[in-house]
């Protein structure tokens, strides 16, 4: 069982161990040592570091940068940008690792990191174990001429915008749509409006003025009631809400209905099936609504469930050589387009499905009547491994 890394990196309250400046310096140094061990001796390792809009991101970014530099690793800094952009940039720049400083949908008081391999996938358990084993190593800087250099990637956002746009067919535009975008005062606040404007949509953008303290506060995918109200007020065709780091999405129909990840996954699946682009089956999780599984079976599409967590969905997709899966929380995996979950790309593919159907979102939802579900959170007094006998007995 890992000491610091959970299923999606490290997360906690800023100022409480391990989300502290001194730990992040040691984390950067430890990760740098591990990278150095795994690359050719004559090549300097590189890391891409991004962040969401939390005020603590600046402090933690500087700490990570210092640790990596001390280990002789060059650093690319992107500034505020969505998590999937870091996965993309890590791969496109040929970097060895990507780190996103974020606590996703949590409030601003929390922060943490998500790590990506050079292929843009979640870092393996093996490498996370290696990094943890080096955390307590005394920091000993490389020689001055071998210190890592840090540089800002001024065109990082533009590279990501172009990447997202290329996932759509060239003849698609959004000229006929009025859309409300909720950016959660988070990492999508610059790139998402730019992408939808370039596609010709009439936009109403809400919650796009981050101040370091308001990320996810009464905003974004975890507070869809504000998007529902905005869609109704502006008589929009639909609304789109992202979480703080932009890797998940929920939508709201023209009738003010909340559209969760299971429904989004269905619309994309059905679209790919009709245009003959669905290869293999679909992966959901233990939380996926039974209606989606039954629909897949009725259509002759293989369906499997993974443990909850996008990393487990991704693992099962790769095991099966499939590309489409997701969670009802709005994490959608489209491995035909990206190596990780991407809220913006998921929204774009859903809109492509609506255009193909020539239906309103509320009309398309009628194709998948959902079963009622109840979620009960049970607090635990200590961290428990999901594979433990205790959990299995439950």
Burial class, 361, CB count within 10 angstroms (exposed 0-12 / middle 13-18 / buried 19+): buried
Taking CB atoms within 8 Å and a gap of at least 24, the contacts of 367-373 are: 367/266, 367/270, 368/263, 368/266, 368/291, 368/292, 368/295, 369/291, 370/262, 370/263, 370/289, 370/291, 371/289, 371/290, 371/291, 373/287, 373/289
- The Cα-based distances of 209 to 161, 233, 247, 328, 338 in angstroms read 19, 20, 19, 27, 27
Q: Judge whether 147 and 72 are in contact, CB under 8 Å.
A: yes
**5-43: burial string, b at 16+ Cβ within 10 Å, e else:** beebbbbbebeeebbbbebbbbbbbbbbbbbbeeeeeee
Burial class, 3, CB count within 10 angstroms (exposed 0-12 / middle 13-18 / buried 19+): exposed
Residue tagged active-site, from 66, 69, 104, 221: 104
Residue 104 known to be catalytic: yes
Q: Judge whether 220 and 242 are in contact, CB under 8 Å.
A: yes
Q: What are phi and psi of 51, to 5 degrees?
A: -155, 160
Q: What are phi and psi of 213, to 5 degrees?
A: -120, -10
Q: What is the dihedral of CA 172, 177, 178, 181, to 10 degrees?
A: -40
Integer Cα distance of 191 and 198 in angstroms = 11
What are 239's strand-pairing partners? 180, 252
Closest CA to 131 of 4, 312, 311, 7: 4
Integer Cα distance of 14 and 28 in angstroms = 17
Question: How wide is the angle at C-alpha 109 spanned by C-alphas 107 and 112, nearest 5°?
Answer: 90
Residues catalogued as catalytic: 104
């Amino acid at each position: 069982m890992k000491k610091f890394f959970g299923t999606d990196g490290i997360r906690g309250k800023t100022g409480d161990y391990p989300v502290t400046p001194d730990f992040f310096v040691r984390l950067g140094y430890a990760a740098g040592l591990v990278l150095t061990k795994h690359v050719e001796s004559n090549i300097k390792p590189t890391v891409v570091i991004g962040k969401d809009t939390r005020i603590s991101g600046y402090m933690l970014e500087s700490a990570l940068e210092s640790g990596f530099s001390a280990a002789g690793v060059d650093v690319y800094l992107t500034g505020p940008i969505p998590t999937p952009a870091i996965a993309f940039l890590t791969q496109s720049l040929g970097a060895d690792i990507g780190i996103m400083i974020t606590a996703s949908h949590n409030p601003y008081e929390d922060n943490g990191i998500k790590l990506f391999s050079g292929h843009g996938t979640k870092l393996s358990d093996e490498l996370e174990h290696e990094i943890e084993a080096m955390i307590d190593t005394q920091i000993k800087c490389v020689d001055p001429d071998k210190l890592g250099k840090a540089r800002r990637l001024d065109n990082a956002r533009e590279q990501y915008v172009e990447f997202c746009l290329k996932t759509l067919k060239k003849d698609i535009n959004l000229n006929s749509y009025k859309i409300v975008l909720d950016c959660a005062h988070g990492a999508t606040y610059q790139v998402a409006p730019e992408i939808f404007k370039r596609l010709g949509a009439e936009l109403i953008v809400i919650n796009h003025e981050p101040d370091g303290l308001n990320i996810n506060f009464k905003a974004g995918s975890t507070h869809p009631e504000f998007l529902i109200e905005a869609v109704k007020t502006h008589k929009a065709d639909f609304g789109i809400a992202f979480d703080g780091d932009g890797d998940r999405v929920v939508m709201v129909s023209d009738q003010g209905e909340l559209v969760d990840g299971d429904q989004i996954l269905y619309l994309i699946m059905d679209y790919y099936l009709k245009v003959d682009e669905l290869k293999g089956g679909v992966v959901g999780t233990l939380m996926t609504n039974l209606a989606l599984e039954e629909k897949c079976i009725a259509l002759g599409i293989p369906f499997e469930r993974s443990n909850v967590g996008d990393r487990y969905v991704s693992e099962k997709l790769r095991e099966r050589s499939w590309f489409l899966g997701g969670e009802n929380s709005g994490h959608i995996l489209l491995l035909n387009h990206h190596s990780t979950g991407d809220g913006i790309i998921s929204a774009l593919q859903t809109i492509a499905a609506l255009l193909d159907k020539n239906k309103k979102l509320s009309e398309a939802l009628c194709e998948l009547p959902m079963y009622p579900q109840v979620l009960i959170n049970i607090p635990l007094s200590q961290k428990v491994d999901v594979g433990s006998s205790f959990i299995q007995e439950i």
